[in-house]
């Protein structure tokens, strides 16, 4: 998908340097993918302590058989 966006040249140059991407598009796509992955991880981490999980290791071992 094509989109026209305004990006600060300093940020874009730093992004190109850090990603070592060959094009601006690939650098931006990589940055978006990394951002989305981090957001998903944060959402999972925010569930810590909110889910009831009771695991009995011996019970799990017997269920696998």
- Determine the pLDDT at residue 49: 82
Q: Which residues of 18-48 are buried (b: 16+ CB within 10 A; e: fewer)?
A: eeebeeeeebbeebeeeeeeeeeeeeeeeee
**Residues of the chain where predicted confidence (pLDDT) is lower than 50:** none
**pTM for the structure as a whole:** 0.71
Domain boundary assignment for the chain:
9-64
Instruction: State how far the Cα of 55 lies from the Cα of 18, in Å rounded to an integer.
Output: 42
Whether 13 and 24 have beta carbons less than 8 Å apart is answered as no
For CA atoms 8, 12, 14, 15, the dihedral sign is positive
- Determine the pLDDT at residue 4: 96
């Amino acid at each position: 998908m094509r989109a026209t966006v305004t990006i600060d040249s300093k940020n874009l140059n730093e992004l190109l340097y850090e990603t070592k991407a060959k094009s601006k598009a690939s650098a931006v796509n990589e940055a978006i993918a990394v951002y989305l992955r981090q957001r998903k991880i944060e959402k999972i981490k925010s569930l810590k302590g909110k889910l009831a999980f009771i695991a009995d290791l011996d019970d799990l071992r017997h269920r696998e058989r």
